[in-house]
Structure 1
Amino acid sequence: MRAFLLTAIIVIIAFVIKVDLTEGSLQFTNFYTEKTKQLQCEQQQEPDYISIQTMQDDTIHSLFALHPAKEPMTFPERLQLFYKLNPHLQLQALTAGENIKLPLSFPQQNQCEN
């Protein structure tokens, strides 16, 4: 009888662990609320942009002239947003055929706390 009860308990524990690992019972807890909030804030703070493919002899100035911003902004502000969207271009020149993102407006204001 003792062996039967011990086997039943082990089977029940194994079943509970299996269900917890596959379906999860911890999804209702708030372990990762701070990381989730930070990720949502970062996603909301991305500026409005268009993706374009560069051609030979394109410069940042010429691309900004061809694709004007939706709202007024100075060249340094737009350049800062450009490098935020394209961090790989900070220390190199534009090459033909490269896909880049051109900012069109500032990031939307949200209620995220910094």
Structure 2
Amino acid sequence: MKIFVATILLLISFYIVKVDLFEGTIPLAYSNEPEVEKCLETPDFISVEIVAGDTIYSLFAIYPSNESISFTERLSDFYTLNPHLVNQTFRAGEKVLLPVYTASAQCKK
């Protein structure tokens, strides 16, 4: 009886390994499918004057992006355009550059 149970467990283990090798994460990592191109150009920017009480969130809400882009990517581009604001807060009257995203002409159909 012990040999029978050990054989069943061994066959189940082999089946699990086979499924993982042929249908699991390893074939997905080495897939030959072409990657989807990002249709976003390098971000343009607009100059915005800060008003008392403005935050990053309020600026991004007032000037939303037409293209689908994550908040972290937009924030990263914001700090690339305004490196002096990395460790500072906004001051009223200061001008900052906000990234604006547009799709390239070849991606619009």
Give the corresponding residue for 1:32. Answer: none
Give the corresponding residue for 1:8. Answer: none
Question: CA shift at 1:46, angstroms?
Answer: 5.0
Moved over 3 A (4+): none
Count the aligned residue pairs.
64
Match of residue 71, structure 1, among 67, 73, 94: 67
The two structures have a TM-score, normalised by structure 1, of 0.52
Residue identity in the other structure for 2:57: H
Give the corresponding residue for 1:56. Answer: 52
Alpha-carbon distance in structure 1 between the residues aligned to 2:42 and 2:74: 13
Match of residue 90, structure 1, among 74, 86, 89: 86
Identity among equivalent positions (%) equals: 48
Post-superposition CA distance 1:39-76 (Å, at most 9, x none): xxxxxx85211101000000000000000012111110
Change (3 A) 1:76 1:54: same
Residue 46 of structure 2 aligns to a residue whose secondary structure is: strand
- Cα RMSD over matched residues? 2.0
Q: Which runs of 5+ in 2 are unaligned?
A: 1-40, 105-109
More helix per residue: 1
Give the corresponding residue for 2:99. Answer: 103
Residue identity in the other structure for 1:72: S
Alpha-carbon distance in structure 2 between the residues aligned to 1:103 and 1:52: 11
Alpha-carbon distance in structure 1 between the residues aligned to 2:86 and 2:96: 12
Residue identity in the other structure for 1:88: H
Alpha-carbon distance in structure 1 between the residues aligned to 2:51 and 2:66: 23
The two structures have a TM-score, normalised by structure 2, of 0.54
Q: Which runs of 5+ in 1 are unaligned?
A: 1-44, 109-114
